[in-house]
Amino acid sequence: MDDRNQRRNRSGRAYTGDTIVMPGRKQRDAQPPAAPPPPTKPRLPRAAPQPHTRRPLWPRVRQILLVALVFFLVAFGLFYWQVRNVAQAIVVDEVRPNPPIASPLLGGTNVLLIGVDERPDHPEEGVRSDTLILAHIDATGRWVSLLSIPRDSQVELPDIGVTKINVAYGYGHDYAAELYGPETTPQQGGMALAAETVEDFLQMPPGMRVHYTAQVNFDGFAGLIDELGGITVNVPKLIIDEAYPTDDFGIMRVEFQPGEQRMDGATALIYARTRHADSDFGRAERQQQVLRAIVAELRAKSMPERVAAIPGLLESIAGQEGATPPVLTTMPIARPDVLLSGIVLAAGMDPESINQVRISPETVAVNEIGSNLVWDPAGVRTILDQWLTRPSEQAEQATVQVFNGTAIPGLAGDTAIQLEQARFTILPPGNAPPGDYPTTVVYDVTGKPITARRVAETLGAEVRSGQPPNDLISGADIVVVLGTNTTGL
């Protein structure tokens, strides 16, 4: 019986007895139900990577341009402020009747440069124009032409009669009020009468005038060069002056060896003024050479160096407060068109292309009456035409003559043929006077710089202004003296 019951229980019938707890097992109902996991957000599909985009370039360029413009305006404003201050000190009114009006940007402008010999400590000595150079300035064409007028040239002045041209400045200086009105200063009167006298002397055609004048005393000339740090001058020949005048009315000996050399303001002034070694014509040539050297010195400087030099240059021109400035001019240098023309010239003019013209016995027929020089009027007009012609080799129409300074026969003839094939106008060659000629040199005798430079480039030689050495006589504009380096001797 019991066995049958047990078999029934195993067969799956319901058990109606007590609950039997099995050892070693926990009741599932004894633990609280587990918390359901937190819901998860559905994962969105990942976006594809976008290509890298650059910031637009134009805004950055615009910012740079804006900063540069502001810097330029500030710098130009400071520069213009300095120029205006200087202009207030050195610019004087024109007192000539019917003063000419001209703009360097609208055609050529003529400026008379007057080197004044004045000693304030000795007023009894008076004042006179030691130098007269007429400059033709073409700012748009970027060229300048210089015309030197000898101070002993004969002219006729009102109330004086026949006299020398350098008397005009002194007479206008001493009688300024009588000639041009009670408010006229001596300097204004001197510049005005000098300009009128130069116009008459050159027989300027109608419509052509001396538009502006500028006077420079010796201190201003030397100070300007010192502010530049000196200039480089190629002295063409040995210069010895045993009687150079000193400030205390004495004399001293000065000497310049030939060759390229550096000069400060005082030395350059002596070089430009000395004349006893040759003549006033040699001095005029040296003065133009120094002016070209000043331009070359400015051009040789970098733009930052030029900007840095401006304050000192302007200060040297204006001089000390309370004293007569070393430079006075009727040119309105602070006027925008005049100022712009100066900037254009400074940026683009080649010093080697400055046209140099001189009235001298080599270029114009002359008669001497005492110490006065009476020039042929037709020759003066020809020189005036050359002065107004833009520098070019064709306009120069220069003649070239070759001289043999070596012991090799026929060398001058062979060189002349070479230059003729290069389309130069050649005069018959010859032998140089006895002397030492170590290098070949091209001498620009009459101021033909463009032709002289091409001759020098053709021969691989150097150019010097002025007469050749050892009293070599030639009627050519350009003289070539062959040296031993030509053949490697």
Q: Quick check: 277 pLDDT over 80? A: no
Q: State mean pLDDT over 351-359.
A: 81
Residue 336 pLDDT level (bands cut at 50, 70, 90): confident
Please, what CATH class does the domain formed by 393-486 belong to? Answer: alpha beta
Residues 355 and 365 sit within 8 Å (Cβ to Cβ): no
Most confident of 299-313, 348-362, 429-443: 429-443
pLDDT at res. 219: 77
CATH 3.30.70.2390 in the chain, residues? 393-486
Residues 106 and 211 sit within 8 Å (Cβ to Cβ): no
Residue 42 pLDDT level (bands cut at 50, 70, 90): low
pLDDT at res. 26: 47
Given strand 143-148, what is the order of strands in its sheet?
A: 327-329, 212-217, 109-118, 127-138, 143-148, 355-358
pLDDT at res. 352: 67
Higher pLDDT, 31 or 319: 319
Higher pLDDT, 350 or 385: 385
pLDDT at res. 1: 47
Residue 41 pLDDT level (bands cut at 50, 70, 90): low
pLDDT at res. 382: 92
CA separation for the pair 466, 281 (Å, rounded): 10
CA separation for the pair 245, 279 (Å, rounded): 15
Higher pLDDT, 5 or 364: 364
Q: Which of 63-72, 384-393, 430-439 bottoms out in mean pLDDT, i.e. has the lowest? A: 63-72
Most confident of 171-175, 304-308, 320-324: 171-175
Most confident of 82-96, 174-188, 209-223, 436-450: 174-188
Higher pLDDT, 470 or 403: 403
CA 11, 16, 19 angle in degrees (round to 5)?
105
Q: Which of 155, 166, 411 is nearest to 284 (CA)?
A: 166
The 3-state DSSP class for residue 115 equals strand
Q: Which of 92, 107, 111, 332 is nearest to 209 (CA)?
A: 111
pLDDT at res. 17: 53
Residue 281 pLDDT level (bands cut at 50, 70, 90): confident
pLDDT at res. 480: 97
Q: Quick check: 458 pLDDT over 90? A: yes
pLDDT at res. 40: 60
Tokens representing 348 are 């683009």
CA separation for the pair 345, 142 (Å, rounded): 6
Q: State mean pLDDT over 147-172.
A: 93
pLDDT at res. 27: 47
Q: Which of 70-84, 90-104, 164-178, 244-258 bottoms out in mean pLDDT, i.e. has the lowest? A: 70-84
What are the Cα distances from residue 246, in Å, to 219, 238, 250, 273, 287? 14, 21, 5, 11, 19
pLDDT above 70 coverage of the chain, percent: 85
pLDDT tens across 425-436, in order? 999 999 999 988
pLDDT at res. 284: 86
CA 269, 184, 82 angle in degrees (round to 5)?
55
pLDDT at res. 18: 53
Q: Quick check: 117 pLDDT over 70? A: yes
The verdict on pTM exceeding 0.75 is no
Mean pLDDT of the chain: 83
CATH 3.40.630.190 in the chain, residues? 78-387
> Could you give phi then psi for residue 408, rounded to 5 degrees?
-90, 115
pLDDT tens across 189-241, in order? 999 999 999 999 999 988 899 999 999 987 788 888 998 899 999 888 889 99
Q: Quick check: 401 pLDDT over 80? A: yes
CA separation for the pair 170, 116 (Å, rounded): 9
Residues 327 and 216 sit within 8 Å (Cβ to Cβ): yes
Residue 58 pLDDT level (bands cut at 50, 70, 90): confident
pLDDT above 90 coverage of the chain, percent: 41
Residues 6+ apart with CB under 8 A from 181: 95
CATH architecture, range 78-387: 3-Layer(aba) Sandwich (3.40)
What is the per-residue burial (b if ≥16 Cβ within 10 Å, else e) of 420-432?
A: eeeebebbebbeb
Q: Quick check: 25 pLDDT over 50? A: no
pLDDT at res. 198: 96
- If residue 384 lies in a helix (H) or strand (E), which one and from where to where? helix 377-387
Q: Which of 103-107, 195-199, 273-277, 447-451 bottoms out in mean pLDDT, i.e. has the lowest? A: 103-107
283 CB neighbour count, 10 Å cutoff? 22
The 3-state DSSP class for residue 433 equals coil
Q: Quick check: 52 pLDDT over 60? A: no
Q: State mean pLDDT over 91-102.
A: 90
pLDDT at res. 488: 45
CA separation for the pair 237, 443 (Å, rounded): 11
Residues 6+ apart with CB under 8 A from 465: 234, 236, 285, 288, 289, 356, 443, 444, 447
